[in-house]
Every structure is written in structure tokens, then in C-alpha cells.
Amino acid sequence: MCAVVVSEAVRARLRYVRARGDEDLTRFPDFLILGPQRTGTTWLHAHLRFHPQIFLSEPKELYFFSSLERRDAKRFVSDQLDYYLRFFRDPLWRVAAKNAICLRRHGELYRPIVRGEATASYAAMAPAVIDDLVALKPDIRAILMIRHPVDRAWSHAKKDLVRNRKRRFEDVSADEFRRFFADPYQRHCARYAELADVWGSRLQPGHLFVGIFDQIASRPEAMLLDVMRFLGVRADRRYIDPDAKNPVNPTATTRIPADHKQYLEALFADDLRAARERFGVDWR
């Protein structure tokens, strides 16, 4: 495959990504799993990563584009395009490992025809950052996952405030939970219709897939086949693991307290209504 380098016209449009102009864009991802967090992106990544026609970057979360605007010390590493592209080339040992896995599971060799990555914070990125991404890959595809915003916010809070900090649920105060729920980023993650509009207006027609979290439990095989068809790879049940109905990266099954549930239902009332009107989901 001939190299495709960054043109001067594209470089002039970039606001956040730094490109020298000699980077090989044939390695730029063909699709992104956007998130937001706690909507099934880890499940989707886990069940696509060993499809013989799909390359997914390692590690799962790269945070490259979502860290460009604010450059927070926790996530930002580089704004250089060549740094990002290094994640989209398999080292020889990984090619050998994937060939062995694909032969054992599917009876065929690992021959990827699409590249992708999954970073859950990409869903809520600033439009100007998305513009950089699309300037580099005009025909990129994106998968936006949506989940009942109350359940998503509760799951995210348990992960960040309890599991990640190695605390007990009882040690997190009600005020701390409320501050987490009302954080501008958390509010943004619940605006699924707005997120779909921002991404959809920048992508080519038909290049945004909206997946519904509930279907991971109710119709996981059908959902995975839909995603395979969307990505343009072979859609066959033999590429689906028998444990597709099992959760990946779950938090503890602590039920949401009634006061938090009431608060979140009021907080997300408009978002629930917009999702119902836009996507036809009825989470009542």
C-alpha cells in the first residue's frame, strides 16, 4: 500500500494536532469507539479485538484526541501525529500471537483490513478537536454507545469514587456523589442527541453508528453483527465468543439509593426526553 502523507492544506487546518507532513496516514484509524464511559465500550472492544479483519490499538484507551484541548497532566502525553500513529502498527510478536489466536478460534489467519481504537472520552470532545480528526481522515467511522443516563452516571460514579480509589461505598458522602453527578463533563456525557449531532454533522452520511447498551444483554450477537457490517468486515457468528452476554469491566452491583436516583432522574429529565425522541429508546 502506498503511503499517504499529510498535505499542506490539511496541515493548515489542524488546530491541535502537530504534523510534520511526512507521516503515513494509511495507518490512521478507520474507526473509533467513542464512548462515553460506562456504556459498553470495553465489552465492544473485547469482542472485536480478535476478529481476523480488525486491528484495535493496544492499550484500549489512548486519550490522544480527548487530551489535546486541556492538556491535563493525567492524560496528555503528546500532540504529535507520529506519536499517535505508532499505536497502529502491530509488532511482530503481536502479529504472531493474533495469528495463533485467530487460527485456534476461527481457522483463519489474522489479516486486518480496518484499524480502530476505543477511547471512551472521545464522545464528548470539543467540536474543534473533532474537526482536526476528520481533516486527517475524512471517511472515518465512529461508534457512539448510549445507556440510560441515570444508570451510566451511577456506574461511572461507583467506578471513579469507589473502585478506582479503593474505598467502600459507605465512605463516599452524598455530597461527593452529587458533585460528581453535576460535573459539567458528566452532564455533557448524558446529552446523547447532542453528541450524535456534533459527530454526525462532521462525518460522512452513514458513518455514525449508535449502539444501545441494553442490547448487550438482550441481543449481543445481533449487535456485534451489526457493528461488523458497519465496519465493512465479514459479519459471521463464528467470530462471536460464547460469553458475549457476560459483562466486561463491571462495577459492584450496589443498587442506587432512592435519593440519588430521584436527583439523577430530575437532572437528566431533558436528556431522557431527547434520547427518546431522537433514538426511539424508552428507558422508563
Residue-averaged pLDDT of the chain: 95
Distance CA 270, CA 199 (A): 20
Asked whether 275 and 281 are in contact (CB, 8 A), the reply is yes
Distance CA 240, CA 242 (A): 7
Assign 1 a pLDDT band (cuts: 50, 70, 90).
Answer: low
Residue 252 has pLDDT above 70, yes or no: yes
* Whole-number Cα distances in Å, 158 to 155, 179, 240, 272: 5, 13, 29, 21
Q: 3-state SS string over the chain?
A: CCCCCCCHHHHHHCCCCECCCCCCHHHCCCEEEEECCCCCHHHHHHHHCCCCCEEECCCCCCCCHHHCCCCCCCCCCCCEHHHHHHHHCCCHHHHHHHHHHHHHHHCCCCCCCEEEEECHHHHHCCHHHHHHHHHHCCCCEEEEEECCHHHHHHHHHHHHHHHCCCCCHHHCCHHHHHHHHHCHHHHHHCCHHHHHHHHHCCCCCCCEEEEECCHHHHCHHHHHHHHHHHHCCCCCHHHCCCCCCCCCCCCCCCCCCHHHHHHHHHHCHHHHHHHHHHHCCCCC
Query: What pLDDT is recorded for position 115?
Result: 98
Mean pLDDT of 142-149: 98
For 210-230, the pLDDT digits (tens) are: 999 999 999 999 999 999 999
Mean pLDDT of 159-164: 93
* Whole-number Cα distances in Å, 192 to 63, 170, 184: 20, 31, 14
Report percent pLDDT > 90 for the chain: 89
* Whole-number Cα distances in Å, 85 to 36, 92, 132, 151, 224: 23, 17, 15, 35, 26
Q: Report the range of poorest mean pLDDT among 212-221, 228-237, 248-257.
A: 248-257
Residue 102 has pLDDT above 90, yes or no: yes
Distance CA 261, CA 265 (A): 6
| Beta-carbon count within 10 A of 59 CB | 10
Mean pLDDT of 169-177: 92
Assign 110 a pLDDT band (cuts: 50, 70, 90).
Answer: very high
Report percent pLDDT > 70 for the chain: 100
Residue 151 has pLDDT above 80, yes or no: yes
What pTM did the predictor assign? 0.95
